[in-house]
Structure 1
Amino acid sequence: MQRKQFTLGDVVQMKKAHPCGTNAWKVIRMGMDVRIKCTGCEHSVMIPRLEFERKMKKVLIHAEGTPEE
């Protein structure tokens, strides 16, 4: 299984939507845990990296600003 590549500042799509209705999250901290911030309501959540990689669907916008094809 290929690991999904993400970096600090990327906007990612998660498998489940946030209660505010948005499904896009910005990666704001990386390490053993990953902190992500909802792009809709600005709520931030810290989750273990392995759980994050399981729940992440795809990268919507790379940190450089180029959308993924």
Structure 2
Amino acid sequence: MERKQFALGDVVQMKKPHPCGANEWEVIRMGADIRMKCVQCQRSVMIPRSQFERQMRKILRKADEV
């Protein structure tokens, strides 16, 4: 299985939306865990990298495009 390529600052779409209704997340920390921030309400969550890679659908905006 191919590992998904993402970088710090990318805006990604996840399988499940945040309770506020948004489905866009900005990656703000990378390591064994990934911290991401909801684009709409600015709340942040931290999940394990393996769970993040399973739940990420696609990259909406790359960090270098912003």
Sort the TM-score into its range (normalised by shorter chain). Answer: over 0.9
User: 1:10 is matched by which residue type in structure 2?
Assistant: D
Name the structure where helix makes up a greater proportion of residues: 2
RMSD (Å) for aligned C-alpha atoms: 1.0
Deviation string 1:32-58 (CA, Å, 9 cap, x unpaired) is: 000000001001000000010011001
Residue 51 of structure 1 corresponds to which residue in structure 2? 51
Find the residue that maps to 2:64 and give its secondary structure: coil
- The Cα shift of 1:2 comes to 1.4
Query: In structure 1, what is the equivalent of residue 65 of structure 2?
Result: 65
What's the TM-score once normalised by structure 2's chain length? 0.95
| 1:3 positional shift | 1.3
Unaligned segments of structure 1, at least 5 residues:
none
Alignment of 1:17-56 (within 5 A): 17-56=17-56
Q: Spell out structure 1 runs of 4+ moving beyond 6 A.
A: none
Q: Note the alpha carbon deviations across 1:1-27, whole angstroms, 9 max, x for none.
A: 211110000000000011111000000
Percentage of matched positions with identical amino acids = 65
TM-score (norm 1): 0.91
- Distance in structure 2 (CA, Å) of the matches to 1:11 and 1:24: 6
Secondary structure, in 3 states, of the residue corresponding to 1:5?
Answer: coil
